[in-house]
Amino acid sequence: MRRSFAGRILPGLLTVAATAAALTVATAGPAAAAGTPTGFAAGTTGGGSTPAVTVTTASALISAMQSSSPAVIRISGTISISGMQDVRSNKTLIGVGSGATITGGGLDVDSATNVIIQNLNFRNWSDDAINVTDASTKIWIDHNTFSDGYDGAVDIKRASDYVTVSWNKFTSHDKTMLLGHSDGNGSQDRDHLRVSYHHNWFDGTGQRHPRVRFGNPVHVYNNYYGGVTDYGVASTMEAGVLVEGNYFENTEDPFHRGEGSSPAGSLVARNNHFVNSGSGDQGGSVRAIPYSYSLDPASSVKSAVQGGAGTGKVG
């Protein structure tokens, strides 16, 4: 089984108290995310080798991720935030162990570049869990678990570009991933919204896996769709989506063109695996994928993704 990560998160980092807001500075151990991104976000480094800080409270988290300086932020325990809180450029947000959780609110990656969000549980968000917007670029969202939120789990909008969404698990949720927020935003979104979605696990979720406007090419590959209740992928409004090497199980509508009042985009499907699922609807052409990548055989994707997606799987 091919794995898209190589590093390890090591326990027992030495820390020293920094503020009364439960923020600590790591003096030993890795100060970077595990592995490296592939797909459109290749080259994203986040906070890089900046010494890591560990946060356990909302105030410490918000202060660290809204700093103008590069930062590697290790999130420990459950942190409740309200509303959408900004994440500024050159940040790595990485959960400690398998239980690091953000609940109540979400992360707004707004006009930012070079951001990594990894190994976090998102629960009960009141708007979006992660919103990437306003021309944000080089964003890697990896090995997180999303459940029981209000609106989008991972929405990407308004000319954002060069994003990879990989090895995440989505469960107990309806509107999973929106790419492009409006049919009327073409002047901003054309030639942007290029995203790679790979090795994600959609576990009984409803729709938008993803729902795409304008992005071309968008690469949806080696994901596992298990019991999706509404539809898998929708290509609309000038989009071009390559749906490749995915495993669809108990999913009546794996992919189609057009959705709601949005006209059909282009969708090319190849080398997918279907178990008790529909055959999907495709048509049109999609721009060439501009990067090299390794494609798992579609029939092996279920076991690979179930074994590797979500939190606690980056070590």
10-residue mean pLDDT profile of the chain (315 residues): values are: 34 30 42 85 97 98 98 98 98 97 98 98 97 98 97 97 98 96 98 98 97 98 98 98 98 98 98 98 98 97 98 88
pLDDT at residue 314, as a whole number:
87
Separation of alpha carbons 115 and 87, rounded Å: 8
| Residues 228/206, Cβ–Cβ less than 8 Å | yes
Q: Looking at residue 90, what DSSP letter applies?
A: S
Sheet holding 211-213, edge to edge: 84-86, 106-110, 130-133, 154-156, 178-179, 211-213, 233-236, 255-257
pLDDT at residue 34, as a whole number:
85
pLDDT at residue 235, as a whole number:
98
Separation of alpha carbons 54 and 21, rounded Å: 11
This prediction's pTM: 0.91
Q: Work out the burial of residue 289: count CB atoms within 10 Å of its CB; fewer than 13 is exposed, 13-18 middle, 19 or more buried.
A: middle
Task: Tell me how far CA of residue 265 lies from CA of 31, 149, 157, 187, in angstroms.
Answer: 42, 28, 17, 16
All domains in the chain, ordered by first residue: 52-308 (2.160.20.10)
Residue 87, both tokens: 């994440």
Position 243, amino acid: V
Q: Which phi-psi region, left, alpha or beta, contains residue 314 (left: φ > 0; alpha: ψ -120 to 50)?
A: alpha
Catalytic positions, written as ranges: 208
Q: How many CB atoms lie within 10 A of CB 38?
A: 19
pLDDT at residue 311, as a whole number:
97
Residue 60, both tokens: 């410490």
Those residues whose C-beta lies under 8 Å from the C-beta of residue 158, and which sit 6 or more positions away, are 133, 134, 135, 181, 185, 188, 189
CA 105 to centroid of chain Cα atoms: 17
